[in-house]
Amino acid sequence: MHVGIIMDGNGRWATKRGLPRLMGHKRGANRVKDIVKASPDLGVDTLTLYAFSTENWKRAAHEVEGLMKLFRGYLQNHFVELNEKNVRVRFLGDPSPLAADIRKQMELLTDLTKDNTLITLNIAINYGGRDELVRATRKIATLVKDGALDVADINEDTISAHLDTLQGDDPDLIIRTAGELRLSNFMTWQSAYSELAFVEKSWPEFTPKLFAEVLADYRSRTRQFGAVIPKTADISDT
């Protein structure tokens, strides 16, 4: 099962406690480890975390810098451990505006962990669903221009294959913390049939226990994908 999480509410968590917003981001970064650790036992084999959106550059420079510092620290502190724990790490988004040392760490970690099998952890950084579609469109257009692809052969699989998530691994469930009811440019293509869960608690308060509760609720839902799935009761009626 693939779960995407929009880790929202760090700023509000801090402000409510009279702390600077960056303290909320710090607490939020600390939550990641527990949630990754809890995932395999909860039946999650792919976890996609929205860490920084293409729109988040609009924030005050010191907040953006602080977030980049935290991201750099996360990569440094967890580099070895993620590999030892058999986590395959991938990054979604356009890395080009990120600092060279961060980009290097991202490449090294992706390469180091590429054959790991316990869980895939996608970290979305400088990620925007629309930006991802623009970049995919450019790749596909280049193939057409070079004569490697016929326009008539472009289908949904072609688009999926050129997204950052590769070959259509769509999230079964997208969770957003901190009560906002929107997707904020997360997985625009891939979320077409995702189940959605919005929780009131902010990301620094999101515990493995709460994660388990959200997953239990998800498992009680019926996913129809446009078809009509008869309920057991309906079947016995006929």
Per CB under 6 A, residues contacting ligand IPE are: 6-12, 50-53, 56, 67, 178, 180, 182, 184
200/160 Cα distance (integer angstroms): 32
Among 2, 5, 7, 8, interactor with Mg ion by CB under 5 A: 8
- The number of helix segments (H) and strand segments (E) in the chain equals 8, 6
Length of the chain: 238
CB closer to ligand IPE, 100 vs 181: 181
Q: Provide the minimum distance between the beta carbon of 140 and ligand IPE in the complex, in angstroms, as a whole number.
A: 27
207/203 Cα distance (integer angstroms): 9
CB closer to ligand IPE, 56 vs 113: 56
Q: Provide the minimum distance between the beta carbon of 11 and ligand IPE in the complex, in angstroms, as a whole number.
A: 3
137/166 Cα distance (integer angstroms): 14
Q: Provide the minimum distance between the beta carbon of 24 and ligand IPE in the complex, in angstroms, as a whole number.
A: 6
47/40 Cα distance (integer angstroms): 10
User: With contact defined as beta carbons under 8 Å apart, do 73 and 102 qualify?
Assistant: no
CB closer to ligand IPE, 67 vs 163: 67
Known catalytic residues? 8, 56
- Binding-site ranges for Mg ion (CB under 5 A): 8
